[in-house]
Structure 1
């Protein structure tokens, strides 16, 4: 690709971000009332992903049951366009101790644009959180994370090999970036999505406990596997590999929780 074309593509990446939703009045993605900005595109390919419409790095068609037809999912937006939506609820953020949360997809997949948006949000004095896999080079992550007031960090696997088998990418960069957050003094929450056939064994819990002891993690949140995104795969015309896998509930993770607690980790189950 010619240099000029590469530069143009990078410029567009920084000037516009590809989103698949902006959700207002969220109460589940950080403290207070929040606006969640969902970035489209992810470098990992987790078989259990509950937001399959977030995976691809371009707009795509998806069946909309309410409209009875296919719609395009994914829209390029500028920072001012997104800020117009965010600022509509500024008073609610102040009254509730809320703010904005970046989610996805993977926000770090569009790091140049996400940083520009984060700068605009922080200039308004708004609390900013993100939900991330941490899958980015340490250099990219170092530019991004200082803008965050709270970081929700997925830790999907303790083993680099098993992580690659289950997600398409190894976890070395993820753990380096996670350590950076832990050492930074910023507010963070480490979360383990517990998935049958991937990381749902007593041995996995034991190894997670050993990993967290080394890294200085004191608390983790366990997320039981669910099937909330099942219908989305059909609406996208895709096959869902885990469609026949039974969901997990709080009681299914009590032993997992106990093993982590015995390792000195305060493990809480985010049940449903």
Structure 2
């Protein structure tokens, strides 16, 4: 697999692993987290986004689409992703340039070329490349080939993973990375299911296996109001990580950076009126992990 479908390559990332990094975002995710800051990553295909604030409502895109995948309803353009084939004719012919696409097929050689432009920054800061998404392991053949190409250039590699990956795939890919940035969202399987659409048994099983193999792991907990923000939740999560044997964890305060994307995708954003959390809001939460013997930072 020399090509994969990605939706962004972000340079000079400082929150996706050690040092200065380039983050490669892959499309496709098995989870449907209600707070997701990259909702465009969930669908594995190319998606058309509508910028409603500049849309003329001329409906030229509706008439142009050969698949009849676009409609005008309730005063807004709607793209029906189950019908869209990603031909991009609507984007090319939109008179107000209000349509854009998320996702494109990119060749491994081109991605590596882009990443190598920042080799001096990686070397100076002990940084590298991070695979994100979506779920990077959701395109397993492509991501393995990409990681091997980066290793030939002696580039440190990390992956942000949900952990919700078939065991065979996870056990094959996980040891190939220098670091796993492993999302841990809830200790209770039913609560996990209610807000993400999947249960957590497979996630915990993969996390435990990776720890037992001696793989470098940084568990990261997105702290989300009305989901896992209570001190009781902190105790449950801290106890689970301690039981596995993990020694450090990072807390990620809830934010709303991806809110506008939901409008462009014609999706409802459950956390629209929820205030963002800040580091100072998590001090008592953090202390519970510290009391459990974990190196917990924000």
Residue 263 of structure 1 pairs with residue 250 of structure 2: no
Q: Is the 8 A contact 1:47 1:167 kept in 2?
A: yes
* CA RMSD, Structure 1 to Structure 2 (Å): 1.8
Counterpart pick for 1:223 among 252, 256, 269: 252
Q: Which residue pairs with 2:37 in the alignment? A: 50
**Among 113, 132, 144, which residue is 1:103 paired with?**
132
Deviation per CA, 1:49-70: give whole Å up to 9, x if none: 0111111111111246899521
Please state whether the residue corresponding to 2:255 is helix, strand or coil: coil
Listed as ranges, the matches of 1:141-156 within 5 Å are: 141-156=170-185
- Deviation of 1:23 after TM superposition, in Å, equals 1.2
CA distance, structure 1, for counterparts of residue 45 and residue 139 of structure 2 = 12
Aligned residues: 256
Matches within 5 A, 1:69-218: 69-218=98-247
TM-score by length of structure 1 reads 0.88
Higher helix share: 1
Once the two structures are superposed, residues 107-164 of structure 1 have per-residue CA deviations (whole angstroms, 9 ceiling, x without a partner) of 0111121111111111221110111111101210111112111111110010111111
Greater mean alpha carbon deviation, residues 29-38 or residues 48-57: 29-38
Answering whether residue 19 of structure 2 is matched by residue 32 of structure 1, we say yes
Paired position in structure 2 for 1:251: 280
Higher deviation after alignment, 27-36 or 220-229: 27-36
Distance 1:140 1:267, change over 3 A: same
2: CA distance between counterparts of 1:112 and 1:72?
24
Q: Which runs of 5+ in 1 are unaligned?
A: 1-13
The alpha-carbon distance between structure 1 residues 73 and 254, as it changes in their structure 2 partners (threshold 3 A), is same
Q: What is the match of residue 261 of structure 2? A: 232
Query: Which string of whole-angstrom CA distances, capped at 9 and with x for unpartnered residues, describes residues 55-88 of structure 1?
Result: 1111111246899521111001122222222222
- What secondary structure sits across from 1:53 in the alignment? helix
Mean CA deviation greater in 188-197 or 242-251: 242-251
Distance in 2 of aligned mates of 1:218 and 1:21? 32
Instruction: Confirm or deny: 8 A CA contact 1:133 1:153 kept in the other structure.
Output: yes
Q: Which has the higher contact order (CA 8 A, sep 6+)?
A: 2
SS of the residue 2:228 aligns to: coil
Q: How far apart, in 2, do the equivalents of 1:95 and 1:111 lie?
A: 30
- Answer whether contact 1:23 1:37 (CA < 8 A) is retained: yes
Q: Distance in 1 between matches of 2:126 and 2:285?
A: 33
Which deviates further from its counterpart, 106-115 or 39-48?
A: 106-115
1: CA distance between counterparts of 2:14 and 2:289?
28
Unaligned runs of 5+ in 2: 55-95
1:100–1:129 Cα contact (<8 Å) kept = yes
